[in-house]
Every structure is written in C-alpha cells, then in structure tokens.
C-alpha cells in the first residue's frame, strides 16, 4: 500500500540544513577574490544629482571602482533603475563603490562629494491631488504609456467637502459600477459613511536583499535572495538584456520576502553589472537600515466608504473611493481592494473609484495580501458597526454577507471555483466559542476592557498552466525539479507530494531538486499571490501522470502485456509479465530513448521548460507535462479570524488574549505548515494593524521609523502562547489535488479580527485608521478627534 | 552571590552598555561597527587603514581558532567572514532581531553586539557547534525542531535554536509562557511563534527523557 503523503506532516527535506547552519542564503556564498560593494543612498526625497566628485574616494587604498547610474539599464517614465541620478525617495541608491572590504567601501562612500539639487516632493498623495499641489515627478503626477506625463487634480469643491469631513464625488481615473448603487442606498435601512486611512508600511523580511555575482566569460553566476527562482532568472536576464541561458542562477534559500522579492529585487542588478565592470565577484550586503528604504512597502490607502444595509443586516450597496499612496514607481493594490470588497460583502450594487498617486516615499510592492489585507482591515469594523446599529449578532452579520458558491463579483461578474467561507466562520465560532466570548464584550477589570471581533478575509490562491518536470533515475528515486522559490512556505517540497503518491513512492525515495538553474527548472509560477500550492500541485500531478504512463509502457514493452494492466507501487511496477523495480524501469527508459527518457518532449510544454528537459534527457525516465487541466473561475482561499483583546484605557495598550484562525483553502497538503501560514500570516496582519508604524517628517520628507524597533513587528510576547487554527478541508473540485494556496488571506483576517475587537472594547467606536498604536487609541478615548485623521504617515 | 555581584555578572552577560563601552575604548564609533569589517589579506590589495588587526586565539565550537581581528570587529562578523561560520545570521546588526544569537560560556548573546575581543578566553558556541562532532548527531533542541517541523524561512532559526539551548540549561522545565519569555529576544518575521514554542516544549520534553 502506497504511503499517504497528501495531508500528513512531513518535515521538509531542507530542514536539516536550516537548523544546522548549513543552509546558504545569498549572503552566505563566497567566491575567490570577492570584493564588497556599498551603496550611496539619496539623503532627500526628490532631487537631481548635479555633480559627483569621487576622486578622493577612488584614491583611497583598497577602493576598486565606482558604478554610476549611466552604466546601468534605465527606462523612461516612472520606472525604477538600480542606480539613478534622479532620486525619487530618501534612500534611493545613487551609485555604488567596490572595495576589497566593506569598511573601505563605506569609507569611500563617505569620501564622495556629491551635489544635489533638491526638488519639490510629495509624501501625502492628497497634497498632490489638491489644486496647485506638488508633483512627485518634475514632469507630472500621472503617467500613461500612451500619453506620457500629465497632471491630475481634484477640484476645490471636492476638497471643500473633504475638508468639511464629508465624502467627495470626485472624478477618478479608475471607475466601475455594477447594479444601481444610488437606488439601492435609497432602499437601505442603514447607511454608514466613513473616512478611513490605512497606513503604508515596509515589508522587513528577516533576510535583507543582499546578493552576490560574478562572471566567467559570458556566463553570469548570480546568488540572489528571491521568492521565486526560475522566473527571477528570467527577470534578471530581461533587466540585463541578456540570454537567460547564460545565467547560472542560485537561490537555494530565501529569508522571507512577503511580496518584496517576487521576481528578485532591483538591487540584484548591482553586483551583476559591477562584477562585469571590474572583473571580480561582488558581494552587496544590504543592511536593515537600507532595507527600510529599498526593501519595498505596502501602499497606503485614504478612502471614503459608504455602505448600505437592509434591516436584516445584508449589505446592499457599497460606494468606495480609494486614493492610493503609490510611491515613485506605482502599485496596483487598489484594483484588488475593489474586487475583494465586492466579493466579501456581496452588495450586488457597487461603485468603485480609485486614483493611484505617485509619492516620494520608498517604492511599493505587493505585501502579503496586497489590497485585500488593507480593505478587509478597513471594512470589517464597519460591518460590525452596522451589526450593532441594526441589532444583528456580529457572527450572523458576517455569515449573512459572505459569498455562496454562485457569487459573481467585480465589474465583469467574476466567479469562484469554490468557496467555503461560511463553513470557516462556523468552525471558527465553535472553536472560539463565540456565544460565550461575545458575552464578555465590555467586561471591565480595573482599567482593562474586553473586546471580541471577527475578520473574514479572502485572497487569490491559485493559477494554472505551468509545467512539471521530474525524472526517475536508475537509483529508483524520483527527482522532482522545482522552479519555484524556497521562501519558507515548504511548497518547494509539498507540491511534489501528489506526483510521489501517483507513483506509489515512499517519501524517502523522493528527491527535491531546487535552487540552482544549472540543475534544470521547468516553467514555474512566480512565488506570489498564493499561487504556488495550487499551480504546482497541478503541474506536478500532470508530470506525475506522464511518468506513470511511461513506467507502464516501459514495463509492458519489457515484460509483455498491456500498459494498463501494470500497477505501480512501493518502488516497483507489477503486471501480467512480472515485476520490475523503478530503477530497472529507468534503465530501460534510457535504452528505449525517445519520449521515455526525455529525448522527445511533448509539443505543448512551455519554451522555458525545454532547455531544462533537454539537459536532463537520457538520465532516466522523464515525466514532463504542461498543466492542461484547465478550469473556470477564480481561485480564492479564505481565513476567518476570531480575536479576544483587553484594552487598557489608561495606557492605550491592547493585549491579544485569544486568537483562532480557520481557513478554507481546499485539500490540506501539509497540516503543520498550513497552521504556521494561517497563524503567522494572522500575526503579520496584527503587526500591520497595531504596531508597525511608519512615520514621515512632512517637512523634509524622510521616514523617522526606519528600523525594526521603531516600526516593530510583533514579537513572541505580543501573542498568546496558545493560538488555535483549523482548516475546513473541503477539496476544490476544479483542480486534481483539490488544494488552494494560503499565504495571503490570513493577513487581513488577523488585522481585521484585532481592529474589530479593539472597536468592540471601545463600545463599538471605529477608529478608521491603522495602525492603532496606544497614542492613537488614547487620543480617541480622550476625545481628541480629527487630529491627522486623513493624513497618511502621520500618527 | 550578593546582589551587587549578581548585577555585575548580569551586566557582563547581557548588557549592551558593555558592548558600547568596549567600542568606545577601541576608538571606533558605535554606528560603524555592525556591518563593517575587514577583508582577508588574501584579497590582495591593501585596504583603507583605520586600525590594526591583532591575532587572537578564540575558542569556537570546542576548537581553538587563530584569527586576525580588528579592535572594533563584532563577533558575528568574525564568525561569518573570517571563520566561515555563516550559520550565524545578521538580520539587523543592532540587537533588534536576535538572528545572530550565539552562546558565550553557555549564555545566549547577540553576536552583532559583542566585540570579538570580548570573547577571548571564553567558549563560543554557534549553530554549527551543536551537533556531535564525531557522529553528527543532532542536539536535543535540533532533534525537537526536526520532530515539530519547525520554522518557515528559517533565517531566524539559528538564533532561536541557540536561545532554546540556553533556555534549557537555565530552566529545564519551562511552561509555555516561560519559554515565550526566554525566547522573546528573538524575532521571527514569518511569526511562526506557535510552532517555535512547540519546538521549545518538545526540546524540554526530550531533554527530560534522556
């Protein structure tokens, strides 16, 4: 009987390396003659470099060379280069210096004389929307590929309404409407209108984006910290305008990315270009301080929300306006936020408007649950507020509004493959004991008040049409080649399980091959948007089916009988003609050649897979296939979070006392790892909502909170030692293994459960902004209203 | 041990002030110590000279290692860039994250906030030194982490494992709350705290059963 792999706890094969210090992250690689680069970062948020005098620096002993912006690729418009003479945020890299050691490189950076022309800057996007406001770029504040630069403003009338605390009716570059929101609001029993600010905050993965590179002739060897692997290799090749097959790309481990290292990093170009220039390996170590600037950030939102409800609590209309703080190089969180608002509250009548505004703050990128985490943490407290006003139980309110399987959402009536959000809510209510806990709401113990809250959060969780590539070698083991990255989700191993199960193999006979492009990688997804578990259980299932069919054919050709009469299990194939080991089958496949050992490849696989498959041809029996399973509908996973907090009214400090997170993410592949995703993601969301505060100086446009202790992610004592989680565990019927992704949705659930619980502890008052640091809570408790209410980056 | 003596030991064990005092004594500035270091002479070219290296003998993972060290060089940099012990990670270089935690005479210390000169004559243990050097057998804590499938990206793992090792020496019978306190000097950005606590409790259980 084959070992059951899907749904069991198996430690990933790289764990031993991780806990013995053998795992090599990008900064752990060394090369003979390696030198060190240091970046010179812009000291101001928007400037032009007028003059650089590096003579003194270059004359210092041990200094090798300088790399300037005109030596690196750049493109017109609001597009980021790895070095620039037109810095658009404080901390943008201007140039790099290489020296024999890092101390010398840093001393050389200090010795460079550089003359900046300061330019006007924008920190808060509303400033740039005001008539006569500043622009983040000299050329304007909006850019389109077709029309180039322009200026976009709201009118004085719009701002008269805004400044009076009202909801404006502005024109926006992005707008869609479904149903008839105006008519629906007229029928609503309750209409809530709120102004909400969601902060921008930096990612701060534990491993900064250090990287190293060297060249041997025309071949680049790049050692990069990245979430993805195969796709990052292509991104690097594209950035450097070179043939991807001339890159040996190594990314064995990644110390977290959370969206900030999806296709690698912009700064990964610096060692690659610099090492070519000076003919020596270059290590660029990025410090935590630098990471704050170049390490990407979640875009902030300033929003006006109008939500209508029928007497029973059903949301029947939404009018949502989002101004997105997009940094100098843009982001698209707002689009996802609009979709997720419609999906989560199913109003049937919705108007969505958005404008993304360039600002001179550190660049934005997807941050775990981009757009979704923001909008859920903003809207869930409003939903709970409506429940209070209508006298509906809050759990019932979430259940009533959550989508059913036939939901249609967004401007194009998108559909889902499956949804079990209600089951997640019900399971969570049971584990949390909602009726008992909600009875504790408002309980006082000295200055501490109890509050409970629920957050329901969806996010995309899959994609289709990647390739799988695996080979059974004469040693009888299955080598699964993975082009996805190894950022700690364990999907690098877990997505191989379906193929191993199909081939009846014990997990000890499966070898995961990853992290080095010279070993051969199939066309893979970028490791983002929670796609990987879905996309690559499918791709590996497809390649596993291909391998299974070939094993049977080889057995039949060798021992006689029909291929379909052969069974594969326990490392052997058995049928009417007898039994062979898979090792023997691999040897026979090599003898038979053709499609059996990969010398002839399926015609439909992606072009990016072909070189890898050709390289492995002749080494065993090859399973290689494109995911042709198809399927209709968007893949979304869900997390329902339940939180109980105690708010100290004297100090403004919130203590999380209990948390339960329940996910609907289809079939569970690896329970223990899933639990880590559900709880870890939830806690990240709590940091976003409560502790990680990014504050900028509006006068000089520079961040104050640029380290871990000033924008503090949650630590071990910020969460109770007995968090709970579970999974609904209902397979998605549209995908062969039934598994969906999980990375993103917990963030919004954790954040919203907490903000709802805080509002509950304050008697139902929504603060309508993040993060809820003690000073903000105290200001609200003391009745100091309106201070910085609409401003981004202000406490 | 009277109270003032105990405080003195504590300060020696844990104080960041000791580190800063050490840095000032060597004439370097605090801000430049964390991430700056000297390349090896093998790199050829002479480097910008601010201070002179001194040859030290260090006791690392039970071996005596001789190494040239700058007066202001941190232990984490010496381990990573001169002794090839890259298991000790640098997440922040400023005593904010604990990824560089090592044991000095059995006490958990941030390697980024300790000068290499401070560990002369003391026993340094890094993540590479936990396995049995002869058999490769994992330490109790490492076995517990394997059992529990601990950590996600694991950049913080070496630091946490060193802190767990120190915790078990001080308190072999921790409650979950006590374990959380003992490990609270380490940050996990994946926030896998629940599983990390499972590992710590499992390690205590394994240690008791030996």
pLDDT digits (tens, 9 = 90+) for A630-671: 999 999 999 999 999 999 999 999 999 999 999 999 999 999
Given an 8 Å threshold on Cβ–Cβ distance, is B151 in contact with A679? no
Q: If contacts are CB pairs under 8 Å, which of residues 50-89 in chain B contact chain A?
A: 50, 80, 84-89
**Domain shared by B147 and B202, yes or no:** yes
Q: Does B197 fall in a domain?
A: yes
Separation of alpha carbons A21 and A121, rounded Å: 45
Residue B5, pLDDT > 60, answer no
Q: Does B95 fall in a domain?
A: yes
The mean pLDDT of A136-144, rounded to a whole number, is 96
Which residues of chain B make contact with A489, given a CB cutoff of 8 A?
A: 152
Which residues of chain A make contact with B89, given a CB cutoff of 8 A?
A: 25, 206-207, 255
Given an 8 Å threshold on Cβ–Cβ distance, is A716 in contact with B183? yes
Residue B18: band (very low, low, confident or very high) from pLDDT cuts 50, 70, 90? low
B181 touches A at CB < 8 Å: yes
Among A15, A287, A489, beta carbon nearest to B146: A15
List Cα–Cα distances, A578 to A559, A575, B206, in angstroms. 7, 5, 47
Q: How many domains does chain B have?
A: 2
Given an 8 Å threshold on Cβ–Cβ distance, is A713 in contact with B191? yes
Which residues of chain B make contact with A204, given a CB cutoff of 8 A?
A: 189
pLDDT on residue B16 = 58
Q: How far is B206 from chain A (nearest CA, A)?
A: 17
Q: How far is B9 from chain A (nearest CA, A)?
A: 26
Tell which of A13, A33, A206 to mutate to test the B interface (max B CBs under 10 Å): A206
B112 touches A at CB < 8 Å: no
Contact B91, B156 (CB under 8 A): yes
Which residues of chain B make contact with A20, given a CB cutoff of 8 A?
A: 87, 127-128, 130-131, 138, 142
A285 touches B at CB < 8 Å: yes
Q: A-B interface: how many C-beta pairs under 8 angstroms?
A: 224
Which residues of chain A make contact with B88, given a CB cutoff of 8 A?
A: 21
Which residues of chain B make contact with A692, given a CB cutoff of 8 A?
A: none
Q: If contacts are CB pairs under 8 Å, which of residues 711-730 in chain A contact chain B?
A: 713-717, 719, 721-723
pLDDT on residue B19 = 61
The mean pLDDT of A483-496, rounded to a whole number, is 96
Q: Which of A178, A201, A191 is nearest to A373 (CA)?
A: A201
Separation of alpha carbons A611 and A542, rounded Å: 19
**Domain shared by B87 and B186, yes or no:** no
The mean pLDDT of B97-103, rounded to a whole number, is 98
**Domain shared by B118 and B22, yes or no:** yes
10 Å Cβ neighbour count for A729?
18
Question: Which residues, other chains included, contact A30 with Cβ-Cβ below 8 Å and sequence gap of 6+?
Answer: B84
Tell which of A16, A21, A22 to mutate to test the B interface (max B CBs under 10 Å): A21
10 Å Cβ neighbour count for A776?
20
**Domain shared by B65 and B152, yes or no:** no
B45 touches A at CB < 8 Å: yes
pLDDT on residue A367 = 98
**Domain shared by B112 and B145, yes or no:** no
B153 touches A at CB < 8 Å: yes
Given an 8 Å threshold on Cβ–Cβ distance, is A675 in contact with B127? no
**Domain shared by B82 and B118, yes or no:** yes
B183 touches A at CB < 8 Å: yes
pLDDT digits (tens, 9 = 90+) for A450-460: 999 999 999 99
Determine the distance from the C-alpha atom of residue A734 to the mean position of all C-alpha atoms in its chain, rounded to a whole number: 24
Given an 8 Å threshold on Cβ–Cβ distance, is B128 in contact with A21? yes
In this prediction the ipTM stands at 0.97
A60 touches B at CB < 8 Å: yes
Alpha helices in A636-693 (DSSP H): 671-686
The mean pLDDT of A301-330, rounded to a whole number, is 98
pLDDT on residue B4 = 46
Among B89, B92, B131, beta carbon nearest to A708: B92
pLDDT on residue A793 = 80
Given an 8 Å threshold on Cβ–Cβ distance, is B48 in contact with A99? yes
- Domain A297-462+633-781, classified CATH 3.30.365.10, yes or no: yes
Residue A175, SS3 per DSSP: strand
Q: Does B76 fall in a domain?
A: yes
Residue A567, pLDDT > 60, answer yes
Residue A273: band (very low, low, confident or very high) from pLDDT cuts 50, 70, 90? very high
Q: Is the peptide bond before A771 cis (omega within 30 degrees of 0)?
A: yes
Task: Tell me the two tokens of residue A300.
Answer: 């902030």
Question: What element of type H or E holds B101?
Answer: strand B101-104
- CATH code at B69? 3.10.20.30
Question: What element of type H or E holds A450?
Answer: strand A448-460
pLDDT on residue A790 = 83
Q: How far is A689 from chain B (nearest CA, A)?
A: 15
Separation of alpha carbons A479 and A618, rounded Å: 14
pLDDT on residue A276 = 98
Strand A621-626, strand A702-703: pairing: unpaired
Which residues of chain A make contact with B202, given a CB cutoff of 8 A?
A: none
Termini Cα distance of chain A: 61
The mean-pLDDT minimum among A321-325, A707-711, B77-81 falls in: A707-711
Residue A347: band (very low, low, confident or very high) from pLDDT cuts 50, 70, 90? very high
Question: Which residues, other chains included, contact A582 with Cβ-Cβ below 8 Å and sequence gap of 6+?
Answer: A472, A476, A478, A503, A505, A551, A568, A571, A572, A573, A621
pLDDT digits (tens, 9 = 90+) for A728-780: 999 999 999 999 999 999 999 999 999 999 999 999 998 888 999 999 999 88
Separation of alpha carbons B34 and A287, rounded Å: 9
Phi, psi values for residue B116, rounded to 5°: -60, -35
A658 touches B at CB < 8 Å: no
Residue B36, pLDDT > 80, answer no
**Domain shared by B105 and B65, yes or no:** yes
Residue A578, pLDDT > 80, answer yes
> Which one of B129, B150, B174 terminates a domain?
B129
Given an 8 Å threshold on Cβ–Cβ distance, is B194 in contact with A104? no
Name the average pLDDT for chain A: 96
Q: How far is A708 from chain B (nearest CA, A)?
A: 6
Q: What angle do CA A75, A78, A80 make, to 5 degrees?
A: 60
**Domain shared by B109 and B154, yes or no:** no
- CATH code at B197? 1.10.150.120
Among A23, A103, A687, beta carbon nearest to B154: A23
> Which one of B95, B129, B163 terminates a domain?
B129
Residue B32, pLDDT > 50, answer no
Among B50, B80, B149, beta carbon nearest to A11: B149
Q: Does B147 fall in a domain?
A: yes
List Cα–Cα distances, A128 to A327, A541, B198, in angstroms. 12, 51, 50
Q: How far is B140 from chain A (nearest CA, A)?
A: 12
Given an 8 Å threshold on Cβ–Cβ distance, is B47 in contact with A715? no
Given an 8 Å threshold on Cβ–Cβ distance, is B48 in contact with A722? no
B26 touches A at CB < 8 Å: no
Q: How far is B109 from chain A (nearest CA, A)?
A: 17
Given an 8 Å threshold on Cβ–Cβ distance, is B152 in contact with A208? no
> Which one of B82, B99, B129 terminates a domain?
B129
Q: Does B38 fall in a domain?
A: no
Nearest CA in chain A to B157: A19
The mean-pLDDT minimum among A27-36, A579-588, A692-701 falls in: A692-701
Residue A615, pLDDT > 70, answer yes
Whole-number percent of chain A with pLDDT over 90? 95
Q: Does B44 fall in a domain?
A: no
Please give the CATH topology (third level) of the domain spanning A463-626.
Answer: Aldehyde Oxidoreductase; domain 4 (3.30.365)
Contact A641, A753 (CB under 8 A): yes
Q: Does B36 fall in a domain?
A: no
**Domain shared by B120 and B66, yes or no:** yes
10 Å Cβ neighbour count for A161?
16
Which residues of chain B make contact with A62, given a CB cutoff of 8 A?
A: 45-48
**Domain shared by B87 and B184, yes or no:** no
Which residues of chain A make contact with B151, given a CB cutoff of 8 A?
A: 15, 18-19, 488
Separation of alpha carbons A641 and A679, rounded Å: 9
**Domain shared by B85 and B170, yes or no:** no
Contact A417, A632 (CB under 8 A): yes
Among B44, B155, B181, beta carbon nearest to A206: B155
Q: Which domain holds residue B180?
A: 140-209
Which residues of chain B make contact with A254, given a CB cutoff of 8 A?
A: 153
List Cα–Cα distances, A59 to A66, A108, A109, B42, in angstroms. 11, 9, 12, 21
Nearest CA in chain A to B126: A21
pLDDT digits (tens, 9 = 90+) for A353-390: 999 999 999 999 999 999 999 999 999 999 999 999 99
Separation of alpha carbons A10 and A350, rounded Å: 45
Angle of helix B3-14 versus helix B16-25 axis, rounded to 10 = 70
A107 touches B at CB < 8 Å: yes
Domain ranges of chain A: 297-462+633-781, 463-626
pLDDT on residue B132 = 96
Q: How far is A15 from chain B (nearest CA, A)?
A: 7
Q: Does B43 fall in a domain?
A: no
Q: Which bin fits A326, alpha (ψ -120 to 50), beta or left (φ > 0)?
A: alpha
pLDDT on residue B38 = 46
Question: What element of type H or E holds B196?
Answer: helix B193-209
Phi, psi values for residue B117, rounded to 5°: -60, -25
Given an 8 Å threshold on Cβ–Cβ distance, is A256 in contact with B197? no
Separation of alpha carbons A378 and A365, rounded Å: 19
Task: Using the structure block, give the residue that is written with the tokens 């070496």.
Answer: B158
Given an 8 Å threshold on Cβ–Cβ distance, is B190 in contact with A488? yes
**Domain shared by B78 and B157, yes or no:** no
Q: Which of A531, A520, A459 is nearest to A228 (CA)?
A: A531
């Amino acid at each position: 009987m084959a070992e059951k792999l899907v749904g069991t706890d198996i430690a990933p094969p790289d764990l031993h390396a991780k806990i013995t210090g053998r795992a090599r992250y990008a900064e752990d690689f060394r090369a003979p003659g390696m030198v060190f680069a240091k970046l010179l970062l812009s000291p101001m948020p928007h400037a032009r470099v007028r003059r650089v005098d590096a003579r003194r620096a270059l004359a210092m002993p041990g200094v090798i060379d300088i790399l300037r912006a005109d030596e690196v690729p750049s493109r017109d418009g609001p597009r980021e280069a790895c070095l620039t003479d037109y810095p658009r945020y404080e901390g943008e890299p201007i140039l790099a210096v290489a020296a024999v050691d890092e101390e010398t490189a840093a001393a050389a950076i200090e010795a460079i004389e550089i003359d900046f022309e300061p330019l006007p800057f924008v920190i808060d996007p509303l400033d740039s929307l005001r008539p006569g406001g500043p622009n983040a770029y000299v050329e304007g504040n909006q850019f389109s590929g077709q029309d180039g630069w322009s200026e976009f403003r709201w009118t004085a009338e719009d701002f008269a309404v805004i400044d009076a605390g009202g909801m404006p009716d502005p024109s926006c570059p992005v707008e869609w409407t479904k149903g008839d929101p105006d008519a629906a609001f007229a029928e609503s029993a309750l209409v809530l209108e709120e102004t909400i600010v969601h902060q921008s905050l930096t990612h701060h993965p534990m491993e900064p984006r250090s990287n190293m590179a060297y060249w041997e002739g025309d071949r680049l060897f790049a050692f990069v910290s990245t979430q993805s692997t195969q796709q990052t290799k292509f991104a690097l090749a594209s950035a450097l305008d070179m043939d991807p097959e001339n890159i040996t790309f190594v990314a064995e481990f990644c110390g977290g990315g959370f969206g900030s290292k999806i296709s690698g990093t912009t700064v990964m170009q610096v060692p690659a270009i610099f090492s070519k220039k000076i003919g020596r390996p270059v290590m660029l170590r990025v410090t935590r301080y630098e990471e704050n600037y170049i390490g990407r950030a979640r875009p902030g939102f300033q929003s006006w929300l109008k939500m209508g409800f029928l007497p029973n609590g059903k949301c029947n209309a939404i009018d949502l306006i989002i101004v997105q703080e997009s940094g100098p190089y843009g982001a698209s969180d707002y689009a996802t936020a609009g979709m997720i608002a419609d999906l989560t509250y199913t109003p049937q009548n919705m108007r969505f408007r958005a404008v993304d505004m360039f600002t001179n703050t550190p660049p934005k990128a997807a941050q775990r649950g981009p757009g979704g985490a923001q909008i859920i943490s903003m809207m869930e407290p409003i939903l709970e507020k409506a429940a209070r006003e209508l006298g509906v139980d809050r759990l019932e309110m979430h259940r009533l509004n959550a989508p059913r399987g036939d939901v249609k959402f967004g401007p194009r009536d998108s559909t889902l493959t499956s949804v079990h959000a209600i089951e997640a809510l019900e399971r969570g209510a049971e584990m949390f004991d909602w009726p008992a806990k909600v009875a504790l709401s408002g309980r006082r113990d000295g200055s501490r008040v109890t509050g409970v809250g629920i957050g329901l959060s969806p996010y995309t969780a899959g994609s289709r049409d990647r390739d799988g590539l695996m080979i059974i070698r004469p040693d009888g083991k299955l080598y699964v080649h993975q082009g996805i990255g190894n950022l700690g989700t364990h999907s690098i191993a877990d997505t191989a399980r379906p193929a191993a199960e199909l081939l009846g193999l014990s997990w000890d006979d499966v070898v995961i091959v990853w992290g080095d492009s010279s070993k051969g990688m199939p066309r893979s997804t970028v490791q983002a948007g929670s796609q990987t578990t879905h996309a690559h259980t499918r791709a590996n299932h497809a390649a596993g089916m291909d391998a299974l069919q070939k094993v049977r054919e080889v057995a039949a050709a060798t021992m006689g009988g029909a291929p379909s009469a052969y069974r594969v299990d326990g490392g052997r194939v058995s049928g009417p003609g007898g039994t062979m080991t898979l090792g023997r089958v691999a040897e026979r496949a090599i003898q038979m050649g053709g499609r059996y050992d990969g010398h002839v490849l399926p015609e439909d696989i992606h072009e990016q897979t072909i070189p890898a498959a050709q390289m492995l041809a002749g080494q065993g029996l090859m399973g290689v296939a494109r995911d042709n399973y198809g399927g209709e509908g968007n893949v979304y996973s869900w997390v329902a979070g339940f939180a109980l907090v105690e708010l100290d009214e004297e100090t403004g400090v919130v203590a999380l006392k209990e948390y339960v997170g329940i996910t609907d993410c289809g079939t569970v592949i690896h329970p223990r790892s899933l639990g880590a995703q559900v709880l870890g993601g939830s806690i990240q969301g709590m940091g976003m909502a409560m502790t990680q505060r990014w504050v900028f100086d509006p006068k000089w446009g520079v961040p104050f909170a640029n380290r871990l202790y000033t924008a503090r992610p949650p630590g071990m004592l910020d969460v109770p030692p007995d968090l709970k989680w579970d999974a609904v565990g209902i397979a998605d019927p549209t995908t062969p293994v039934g598994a969906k992704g999980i990375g993103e949705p917990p963030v919004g659930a954790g954040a919203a459960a907490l903000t709802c619980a805080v509002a509950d502890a304050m008697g139902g008052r929504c603060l309508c902004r993040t993060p809820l640091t003690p000073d903000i809570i105290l200001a609200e408790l003391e009745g100091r209203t309106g201070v910085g209410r609409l401003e981004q980056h202000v406490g | 041990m009277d109270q003032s003596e105990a405080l003195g030991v504590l300060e020696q064990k844990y104080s960041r002030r000791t580190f800063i005092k050490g840095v000032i004594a060597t004439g370097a500035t605090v801000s430049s110590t964390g991430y700056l270091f000297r390349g090896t002479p093998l790199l050829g070219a002479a480097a910008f000279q601010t201070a002179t290296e001194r040859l030290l003998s260090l006791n690392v993972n039970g071996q005596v290692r001789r190494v040239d060290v700058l007066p202001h060089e941190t232990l984490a940099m010496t381990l990573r860039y001169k002794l090839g012990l890259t298991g000790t990670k640098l997440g922040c270089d400023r005593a904010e994250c604990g990824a560089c935690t090592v044991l000095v005479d059995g006490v958990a210390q941030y390697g980024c906030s300790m000068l290499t000169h401070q560990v002369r004559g003391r026993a340094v243990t890094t993540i590479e030194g936990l396995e049995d050097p002869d058999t490769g057998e994992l330490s109790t804590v490492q076995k517990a982490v394997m059992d529990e499938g601990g950590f996600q990206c694991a950049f913080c793992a070496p630091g946490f494992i060193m802190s767990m090792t120190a915790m078990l020496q001080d308190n072999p019978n921790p409650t979950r709350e006590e374990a959380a306190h003992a490990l609270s000097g380490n940050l996990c950005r994946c926030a896998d705290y629940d599983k990390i606590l499972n590992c710590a409790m499992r390690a205590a259980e394994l240690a008791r059963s030996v």
